[in-house]
Chain A
């Protein structure tokens, strides 16, 4: 296993921490446990319901992993969802389904990003050379244009901010990036991040501190005087 990849079978990651509020069964919607049990038996309706429930979350993770590119995020999220349901039989229920889902989704996105980079290096070596500076090497040229409507000045500013945020994230190590992303974008707590990544809470805290300091330094022009 690579150092920056999360191990879904890591026993350290099987503590029963509340990663996300467990979906309880209601009169209209069954809970995660029930849906997972049925999905493991290839029940297409249960699979559809779980996809519907977690699609946006997985898409969000993918979006932040692929350099804020919507269409690439959709492809990546689709791959991640496929990975999740292909591996569903390996989910032993020792942690929350959502914890396990985060872990598989993050790994799938890391794999996908690595694969895309490899192809990008082969097909567009000049672009890859420009990425050498960053540790995670996101393609910052591909930031989508800001929305057409609204104040043009604030649109330009939003585009610039997005580019700078991405460049700042690019300077982080893979672990710092994952931890920062799960905290700031996915709003997981430190114990939840530890659960998802299999790291000790102290390690998560250290990565988070360094990542925040680095992002703060990179984005100093956006910090109010």
Chain B
């Protein structure tokens, strides 16, 4: 059975112990005596409020916790004259540090991701060619000349092969261990 809608506010005031007007209270009690719906709803509401109050009751502070809190307040005011107070600094410092860490990590991650995903594909890299140092440029410039020199050298070697069939510059097994002057000489 439902409570009477027109008594909702009175019912709420009653369960919150705010029904202070004696006339209103008397009328309400008269109604309650005859209305099961309002009576039941009042009991339900009272029970619900007990549960809500129990849920919102803070757990007891231990002595140490209470002392710590009181100590923080006392410390602030012990040194108060001329002191710029640090309102809740301990709490504010934590998010500030956390924000700084997040910022650093984000920047580092940003660089890393940029290198991983876009390192080879950056527009600037594709547009530019590797620059050579001047000495390297010199080598490239004379590359053809060097190749010609190589060919000439091979030609000379073929033309200059002596009758003994040895290529100049290669050691002669017969003259091994002798001085160029022809004297036999045992190499120590």
Binding site for B on A (CB under 8 A): 42, 44, 47-48, 51-52, 55-56, 59-60, 63-64, 68, 70, 73-75, 77-79, 81-83, 85-86, 112, 119, 122-123, 144, 158, 161-162, 165-166, 181, 183-185, 189-190, 205, 208-209, 212-213, 215-216, 219, 222-224
Contact = CB atoms under 8 A, between A and B. Distances in A.
Contact of A77 (B59, B69, B102): B69
Contacts, number: 127
B70 interface: yes
5 contacts: A42-B77, A55-B70, A79-B91, A119-B95, A144-B59
B73 interface: yes
A52 B74 CA distance: 11
B40 to A, nearest CB: 9
Contacts of A86: 85, 87
A219 B69 contact: no
A183 B49 CA distance: 11
B127 interface: no
B96 to A, nearest CB: 9
B70 A165 contact: no
A68 B55 contact: yes
A181 to B, nearest CB: 8
Interface of B is mostly: helix
B36 to A, nearest CB: 14
A215 B52 contact: yes
Contacts of A77: 69
Contacts of A85: 73, 76-77
B45 interface: yes
B180 interface: no
A63 B69 contact: no
Nearest to A204: B18
Interface of B: 8-9, 12-13, 16, 18, 43-45, 47-49, 51-59, 61, 65-66, 68-70, 72-74, 76-78, 80-81, 85, 87-88, 90-91, 95, 98-99, 102
Contacts of A205: 13, 18
A59 B58 contact: yes
Given A68-B56, A81-B73, A158-B55, 14 more contacts: A44-B77, A70-B59, A78-B69, A78-B72, A79-B87, A86-B85, A119-B95, A123-B99, A161-B55, A184-B16, A184-B52, A205-B13, A215-B52, A219-B52
A144 B54 CA distance: 14
A42 B81 contact: yes
Given A222-B48, A224-B47, A185 B56 contact: yes
A82 B12 contact: no
Contacts of A185: 53, 56-57
A52 B63 CA distance: 11
B81 A56 contact: no
A223 B43 CA distance: 10
Contacts of B9: 209
Contacts of A219: 48, 51-52
Contacts of A123: 95, 98-99, 102
Contact of A79 (B68, B77, B78, B88): B88
Contacts of B76: 82, 85
A64 to B, nearest CB: 5
Given A79-B91, A222-B48, A74 B65 contact: yes
B58 A209 contact: no
Contacts of B90: 75
Given A183-B16, A216-B48, A60 B77 contact: no
Given A55-B66, A208-B16, A82 B53 contact: no
